[in-house]
Amino acid sequence: MKFIVILKMNFSKWKASPVQLQYIIWGIMFLVTFFSMLPMDGLGPSVIYAALNILFYATIVYGNLNLLMRFFYEKGRIVQYVTGSILFLVLTGIARSGLLLFIYNRFFAEKPVPFSMKAIAYSIFTGVVVYVLSFIFRLALRYFTLKQQADEIIAQKSQAELNLLKSQVQPHFLFNTLNNIYYEAYRESPRTALFIERLSEIMRYFVDESPREEVTLGTEIQFLENYIALERIRIRHEVAITFTRQCNPATGIPPMLLMTFVENIFKHGIDKSITGNEVSISLIQSDEHLVFQTVNLLHAHQTDADNRGFGITNLQKRLSLLFGNNFELRTWPAGKYYHAFLKIPIQ
């Protein structure tokens, strides 16, 4: 009894794929055909005849679905499809009746049975019935395929929601820890505490803002300022950074569009071993566009290939997905300066 319960539980969890479903259907048809022939023809002939009939039925079904429909019907060649279907059914009907008659006369008949038009007509008629049923077969396969895809999407969505909940719990635990460290650091070193606060704000941006489709310019600017403040720690000499902003902080833009230029400046546009590094950043908003520009001193070790690395390439792909061709992205060296320019539409 326990074994039966376990078997039922496992069977209820099992879901057939479209391919497995086809095997099941053909297996059931074979058994039905076999048992319908068994009382009259006996075991051996019933197995052979059932197998051959199923073989011809499958030939008609898959011949229609994979050949005739694919090469004629789906391409709009209706006349060729109808003509090919008729010829296909006639040929398979003749082949089926001829093969069955040959096997019967060769192995089972006491007296040879002549080849007749009646047998051919019956095979063709049976083929026409199977041919019509092939359309139902096709609809059933598409239904189960779509259902399986829908189940997979639901399962992936559920897993994604679970992962999202996990990802929200872990960073917020870290934020609480950073807050505790901030208050401790503030007693001994207010400057260190300020950097911890900026780091916490950057992490909150990544967790809370960057997954969104749109953030405000004010949020994006604050993120850039926090990043610049933390990068300054790693530079031995002071860097003259000018950040000009003429924009509405409430304007919405996709997140992380401006970060790539600023990141490239600190990667390639600043020589940490010398003084006199200069960086100019400007963010100008007009009625319909937002223009973001950066200018830094061009150093001997800096090349255009450095600045047009994976970051710029990925940014260009993302801009194409967001705005199509309605944007402008350029980077170029000019004299002793390196320029980066981005222009995007805004609503």
b/e burial code for range 212-251 (CB count within 10 A of at least 16 → b): eeebbbebbbbbbebbbbebeeeeeeebebeeeeebeeeb
**In the block, residue with structure tokens 């090469």:** 71
3-class DSSP state for residue 210?
Answer: coil
pTM to 2 decimal places: 0.49
Q: Among the CATH numbers 3.20.20.140, 3.30.565.10, 1.10.3720.10, 3.40.630.10, which is that of 236-345?
A: 3.30.565.10
Q: What is the pLDDT of residue 177?
A: 62
Residue ranges per structural domain of the chain: 15-159, 236-345
**In the block, residue with structure tokens 């096709």:** 138
Q: What residues of the chain score a pLDDT lower than 70?
A: 1-16, 18, 158, 160-180, 182-184, 186-187, 300-309
Please choose, from the candidates 170, 195, 193, 168, the residue with its C-alpha nearest in 3D space to the C-alpha of residue 183. Answer: 193
Q: Report the alpha-carbon distance of residue 60 to residue 68 in Å, rounded.
A: 10
Over residues 172-212, the pLDDT tens digits come to 555 566 666 766 676 677 777 777 788 878 777 877 777 78
Q: What is the pLDDT of residue 342?
A: 95
Q: β-pairing, 240-246 with 252-253?
A: unpaired
- Interacting residues of 93 by C-beta distance below 8 A, sequence separation 6+: 120, 121, 123, 124, 125, 126, 127
Over residues 45-71, the pLDDT tens digits come to 888 888 888 898 888 888 888 888 888
Q: Report the alpha-carbon distance of residue 52 to residue 30 in Å, rounded.
A: 10
